[in-house]
Amino acid sequence: GYEWMADTLRASQAALRAAVEESQLLQAEASQYGEDWLRNRIKVNVSITNPADPTYWASEPFPVISWPDNVMRDHRKIAFYDITEADPYKGMVMYSGMGIGEHYMGPTWEDRAVMLRGPAALDMKNAARDLLLNQGFRPEEIPPPLKPMDFADDYWEMVEAYMAENLGGVRALEMHSETGYEAKPINVAKAVLYTLAPPGMVLILPDSLWHAPLWASMLAGSCMRGARVLIIHPSQRNAPGQAFMTLSRANELFERAIIFRHELEDQIAAVGGQYRVGLYDMDIDVANVPERLQASAVGLRLPWMREALQIPDDWEPIFADADSIFPDFDINYIVEDVEDRRPKLHLKTNLFVSASVLRALLAAPEWRPFVLKYAEERVRDVISAESVEGYRSAKELGQALRPEFVALVESVNRLLAEDGEETAAVYSMVGSPNMDYRSMLMDGEVALLISGKGSIAGFLDAVILAGAARWIDDVAELDEYLPRYEGFKWKASRWVKNML
């Protein structure tokens, strides 16, 4: 069933060979240095970092029993090209929680990635070089594209020109938590955002491994100061992994969150806070945009959800009848799943939006046109005619949304200025770290933190996901969809919590 992949690879290899043969420069150099030089020049280089080494053992990750530090791994998922000090917009970086392989493709893998261009992307080049140096490369062995170089004379002029043409650009911060017992700046960023959330701020936090009580307790504190916290984890049948240890940890944390909300219900209500736990429990393919929007519209009618998101009483979801808006919708996946399964929630995203921004977004006349255009372009990404018969770059989505996006940003800025708001804030974070102790303490992770208008698309995506979630009100309902484990299994999951 994958003959087309082999055909594509053969065609690409043939095109590469033809390009090499037609290159006068390469052929001249090959005649001087030999065929082996040419093969070394045009090739794919693979570097295995953090190779297995049983030399060093410790008991910290796994109490009582020592364990080799192979348990610490580089969990980062990154792809980049042409990041250079010569041109800030020549290359691009993509950050994701998704690995490479057929397992991550098809109709049932729920994940996210974010692409970055500009000066902030230079951190990726530096991080890649530092990783190789850490693994024993000598400075002279660093590949030329990763070596530091002087900035082009007009580098910052190019940045200023781009910002002038694109609403001042977007603020972004790339963060790398190094593998093992090294610096973990992502933890610092999370702690700051979780504990300093102002009253009325909405936090939407989906993750496939919601295990760490430390993060949950920070969020509980913000809830008691008026923040609205929405935590999402997959149900058992929508979880990427079925290990009893990970499911047990999530069940225990969600159980405590439910008890916390009920026991302090009056105090939470007095400050206008929310502390909700929801389960990603659905059987709608990830690319079935109309059905996803329709399911979300149902959840957005919940009274507490409308209160949390500042939704006016007379506001109606745009996609309550999404099928009528997209009557010709049809999906033909390029890659089908090897097994019949429900969608698997694997994304690791964080969304933070202040109450003032929520009010301005919903009050802006340009909001509904932007949402409708966003949905239309998402549909174009997945319908048969666009995704199978022709290639549509992910970058085209942003280009297609530009007129509506610019109009919305200008309107929101005007409304915030008219209201005299000085505390407007919106952040989104996308990357590889889970909400567990492994990501916090041991693994190498990467995350991109975006502030301001660059987070609007992330806000819309998070709200759609939250609207479609199953929100849990009592422990019995939780155990039905995310089972409780007792006895040895419960104790074992607690014992090895740092390694899960």
**Domain assignment of residue 189, yes or no:** yes
Q: What DSSP assignment string belongs to 210-250?
A: ---HHHHHHHHHHHTTT-EEEEEEE-GGG-S---HHHHHHH
pLDDT at residue 39 greater than cutoff 70? yes
Which of 431, 395, 323 is CA-nearest to residue 96?
431
- CB count in 10 Å sphere of residue 326: 17
CB of 433 within 8 A of CB of 447? yes
Mean pLDDT value of segment 280-300:
91
pLDDT tens-digit series, residues 68-86: 777 888 999 999 999 999 9
pLDDT at residue 187 greater than cutoff 90? yes
**Domain assignment of residue 303, yes or no:** yes
Confidence of residue 389 (pLDDT cuts 50, 70, 90): low
Report the run of H or E that residue 477 belongs to, with start and end. helix 475-481
What proportion of the chain, given as a percentage, has pLDDT over 70? 96
DSSP 3-state of 422: coil
Mean pLDDT value of segment 216-220:
98
Identify the bridge partners of residue 94 per DSSP, sorted by sequence position.
Answer: 79, 115
Same domain for 191 and 339, yes or no, is yes
What pLDDT sits at residue 377?
Answer: 85
**Domain assignment of residue 162, yes or no:** no
User: Of 27, 44, 61, which one is at a domain's C-terminal end?
Assistant: 44
Report the run of H or E that residue 428 belongs to, with start and end. strand 426-431
Confidence of residue 384 (pLDDT cuts 50, 70, 90): low
**Domain assignment of residue 299, yes or no:** yes
pLDDT tens-digit series, residues 239-256: 999 999 999 999 999 999
What pLDDT sits at residue 315?
Answer: 80
What pLDDT sits at residue 28?
Answer: 94
Number of compact structural domains in the chain? 2
Could you tell me the CATH number of the domain that includes residue 427?
3.30.870.10
Identify the bridge partners of residue 471 per DSSP, sorted by sequence position.
Answer: 278
Which of 342, 340, 428, 327 is CA-nearest to residue 379?
327
Confidence of residue 260 (pLDDT cuts 50, 70, 90): very high
**Domain assignment of residue 179, yes or no:** yes
**Domain assignment of residue 105, yes or no:** no
Q: Report helix angle 367-382 to 456-468, nearest 10.
A: 80
What proportion of the chain, given as a percentage, has pLDDT over 90? 65
pLDDT at residue 216 greater than cutoff 90? yes
Find the domain containing 35 and state its range. Answer: 1-44
**Domain assignment of residue 30, yes or no:** yes
pLDDT tens-digit series, residues 6-30: 888 899 999 999 999 999 999 999 9
Task: Return d(Cα 285, Cα 107) in angstroms, integer.
Answer: 5
pLDDT at residue 98 greater than cutoff 90? no
**Domain assignment of residue 111, yes or no:** no
What pLDDT sits at residue 121?
Answer: 96
pLDDT at residue 304 greater than cutoff 90? yes
Mean pLDDT value of segment 306-321:
83
Same domain for 350 and 214, yes or no, is yes
Kindly calculate the radius of gyration of the chain based on its CA atoms and give it in whole angstroms: 24
Q: Read off the tokens for 367.
A: 């909001």
